[in-house]
Chain A
């Protein structure tokens, strides 16, 4: 049982480049989400999904795109990277309905946009 996995662990992009941050969970969780962590800001919700085929925006969605075609995977796409997207990105999952509301976090991806 690997829990929540994220790839890559580190990434450097140039302004304007695109990339996808991968997130997968093997706990059959309904709910998955993406957060970003900036210095002095805590974690902020970018996008979330309550199940396959269902996604919605969080607090800071601009510049990011998500889709959820399977229960296990929830990739985060940066279409045209900007320096303001330099951050640490965390994926999380939880059981959803009937669960304990405990969110399980991946190890994070540190992204630098130059």
Chain B
């Protein structure tokens, strides 16, 4: 069974600074997808960024980028120019190709301070 580990239960960053959230996963599959979801206090789950395992290029979405290290099974999220609205729980998630089933990590609570 696949597992996803987020080793930082809580983090904080000053507004406008950069922060990196860590995620490692364990799988024997070669076809899979990795995701970062954001959950603000409203509770809504919002997709931040997606990475296909077969793509070597790291995904980016505006201020959000990932560092995907396939051999190390590492998938970290970098948030640049942090904003107060980035305050949320962040979940790393794994999906085996073709399964549509997500396996989540336990989450990292990020606080952006003014």
Contacts and interface: CB of A to CB of B under 8 A. Distances in A.
Contacts of B100: 31, 33, 48, 50, 94, 96, 101, 103
B104 interface: yes
Contact of B106 (A31, A41, A102, A108): A41
Interface residues of A, number: 24
Interface in A53-75: 58
Interface residues of B, number: 19
Nearest to A30: B100
B45 interface: yes
Contacts, number: 50
Contact of B44 (A44, A94, A107): A107
A43 interface: yes
Nearest to A48: B101
Contacts of A43: 45, 91, 102, 104
B47 interface: yes
A21 to B, nearest CB: 15
Interface of A: 31, 33, 35, 40-45, 48, 50, 58, 88, 90, 92, 94, 96, 100-103, 105, 107-108
Interface of B: 4, 9, 33, 42-45, 47, 50, 91, 95, 100-107
